[in-house]
Structure 1
């Protein structure tokens, strides 16, 4: 019985082999064919297939010798790419005789998919191809050939790096022995611990025989193709390349030269390991849906122009304090990278302006939401609405904050409560409510908490503000440790003097209203002369998420203070005693 819930099964004959084919969704809709890799069966696609079936006719089949499909006899010579292409055409003709199909392949399913998308006899049968963690053997052969014939230190490093990842393909008898022995028995635990694949009904009980048969995919194809790669391996359909940045088996560098082979190429990257059909089904299904829809609508896909577009395209990003300053700049930077943006601010008009600007900047969708981050119930309502209407947030940026200056004894309990409610509790509410949903989904994500250089640089003039930001920094470090095992990164961003509206709205304790206005104007003027733009902080935030950095000082003074705080804290303590000019 198939694990693809609600699937309709049929048998498709191809030569001496009978393939088990499962179908979901409306056959009248565009057909998406999912091809699994090694050592899997079609059940690796169960999570992705269920999501795609809401929009498409979804087909997954067991590759010959895997799952409930029969194996060729003899095995040697029965798994060549030519015979696998025969299988694909037989399935495509059975499930979609009148229309080309959209192909998705993972691992060896992707290796096959490259063959199906580049050989002449399949031209017109493939409408699009999404490749996940599997190269074209022809492209890979040319990649190797260039590096062997024209070696440089960088190219040699790339060769050694990929060799370390794919040594297992050369083992002659070990795969069968290992998979029918301890490796097969322990594979579910390996996937859970190393790849973070949730335990459940995957992999299936046919794993040992699937892996043993699948070893012939390597033996029948790898060495012949790498020795003599085709010179005409050009894609005759649009291709979407999805590259997991944490892939232990394939280096992302092997796709460096891909544009010469693929005229219509869309690149995507995801911070995950090899088995993203199991660990990131939401993101993968969303990318497939967007790509297939653009091809079906016969409209060229407009690629996001911003930096890190490969990383953030289509992701859901929520930014608090998005009405102005760093929050607005960050929302727009993610929009330029193709993310869907939720702009949150207590000023409804400011949030709406940011959402409108995000759409103009390139966001496929953007929404404005009004909330006071210090209000727990308001944040709970916001989290419930976002979850119900937009989905689980992929990147959370807790940016909302206020400034407060004045000596400790001039700072009233009310001042302390206000600054901690917004600067600290606002971050806590965001992490708990949105980060909690990330953790429950178990598909990774990232949390950015905007702290300050004041978090590690003491000042006699900023006791309350510095305390709130120091707490945010430590909270981020603790949360990063807790969530590391779930693939959720946490970053504390610590800007120095940045030219934003926070300077003109900061509260100064212990002075009257007129003096406070004068100090606000003076501070805003000083920050204006410094003129470090919030856009640079936004760029640092995107870079930090892409690299999964822990603590990111922004501005030269913030970086300098960070170094001193670690290696010469006494200097900072002496600087902290200096009374600021009035």
Structure 2
């Protein structure tokens, strides 16, 4: 397999579990050194911590380190980006950390709203800012990838706060692509559909056993996505193969959004 990210350094938030974990592993397999940034090192699904798995199991010379990072804390985000200096400085930033809430709009509390927006939107904003500052200082360009959701493309009465947060990520991505383009910093968004992760299976009711088969009938490819599907999209957007690609919403949903 050709290594598309050789000599690059990436910071990935929410990298202990799920999509962030797989993105980190895929980056390492393609030659990138990775800063695994998460609130805890243990994967939600169990197993070896991501940074240890990269060091012991990926068949490349890539290296990895873990940094404790609460994305609602701007100092933590700065420290995660600072950790990339060990490998030569951040060139790829993946703002992946996020949570899901299933709520009735009339029952949403201010605290619930603030928690979700702080993690899903504020964390992306200031994660991108921390990385962009270093990228501008080094004057070598870079790639910022924001993980949104198909919920950021369409509204849903079942989880309005989540949709609000992911819609904010989509518009932030477009805005940053315009602001940072003159510095040769590309900013793109990935919008996953239903991806089989522990968070999805435990927190998103639509993929429960009672709705699973019915839901899959709405997906042209007739399967749920895998974290590898999201990771492959991230590898492409991080690589020089996408050197003229910025301000896009890369939808990874098996065709669901545009065929319903």
Per the alignment, do residues 330 and 363 of structure 1 end up closer, same or farther by CA in structure 2, a change over 3 Å counting? farther
Deviates more, 1:425-434 or 1:372-381: 372-381
The reply to whether residue 383 of structure 1 matches residue 100 of structure 2 is no
1:374 to 72, 76, 85: 72
Quote the residue 1:482 is aligned against.
179
Quote the residue 2:137 is aligned against.
440
2:43 to 335, 350, 354: 350
Give the C-alpha shift of residue 452 in structure 1: 0.6
Matches within 5 A, 1:433-582: 433-506=130-203, 519=205, 522=208, 526=212, 530-545=223-238, 546-547=241-242, 548-549=245-246, 550-560=248-258
* TM-score, scaled relative to structure 2: 0.85
Give the C-alpha shift of residue 384 in structure 1: 3.3
* TM-score, scaled relative to structure 1: 0.39
What is the CA–CA distance in structure 2 between the aligned matches of 1:374 and 1:557, rounded to whole Å? 32
1:430 to 109, 112, 127: 127
Give the C-alpha shift of residue 386 in structure 1: 3.4
In structure 2, list runs of 5 or more residues that go unmatched.
Answer: 217-222
What is the CA–CA distance in structure 2 between the aligned matches of 1:381 and 1:419, rounded to whole Å? 22
**Contact 2:81–2:90 at 8 Å: present in 1 too?**
no
**Contact 1:427–1:472 at 8 Å: present in 2 too?**
yes
What is the CA–CA distance in structure 2 between the aligned matches of 1:467 and 1:411, rounded to whole Å? 13
1:398 to 95, 117, 123: 95
Deviation string, structure 1 residues 60-117 (Cα, Å, up to 9, x no partner): xxxxxxxxxxxxxxxxxxxxxxxxxxxxxxxxxxxxxxxxxxxxxxxxxxxxxxxxxx
In structure 1, list runs of 5 or more residues that go unmatched.
Answer: 1-304, 508-518, 562-571, 573-582
Quote the residue 2:219 is aligned against.
none
**Contact 2:191–2:249 at 8 Å: present in 1 too?**
yes
Per the alignment, do residues 383 and 543 of structure 1 end up closer, same or farther by CA in structure 2, a change over 3 Å counting? closer
**3-state SS, counterpart of residue 397 of structure 1:** strand
More relative contact order in 1 or in 2 (CA 8 Å, sep 6+)? Answer: 2
Give the C-alpha shift of residue 521 in structure 1: 8.2
Per the alignment, do residues 444 and 355 of structure 1 end up closer, same or farther by CA in structure 2, a change over 3 Å counting? same
What is the CA–CA distance in structure 2 between the aligned matches of 1:323 and 1:461, rounded to whole Å? 28
Matches within 5 A, 1:126-525: 305=1, 307=2, 309=3, 311-350=4-43, 353-359=49-55, 360-361=57-58, 362-387=60-85, 389-506=86-203, 519=205, 522=208
Higher alpha-carbon Rg: 1
What is the CA–CA distance in structure 2 between the aligned matches of 1:450 and 1:367, rounded to whole Å? 21
How many residues of Structure 1 are paired with residues of Structure 2 in the alignment? 243
Give the C-alpha shift of residue 558 in structure 1: 4.8
What is the CA–CA distance in structure 1 between the aligned matches of 2:125 and 2:61, rounded to whole Å? 27
Per the alignment, do residues 350 and 533 of structure 1 end up closer, same or farther by CA in structure 2, a change over 3 Å counting? same
**Contact 1:453–1:558 at 8 Å: present in 2 too?**
no
**3-state SS, counterpart of residue 464 of structure 1:** helix
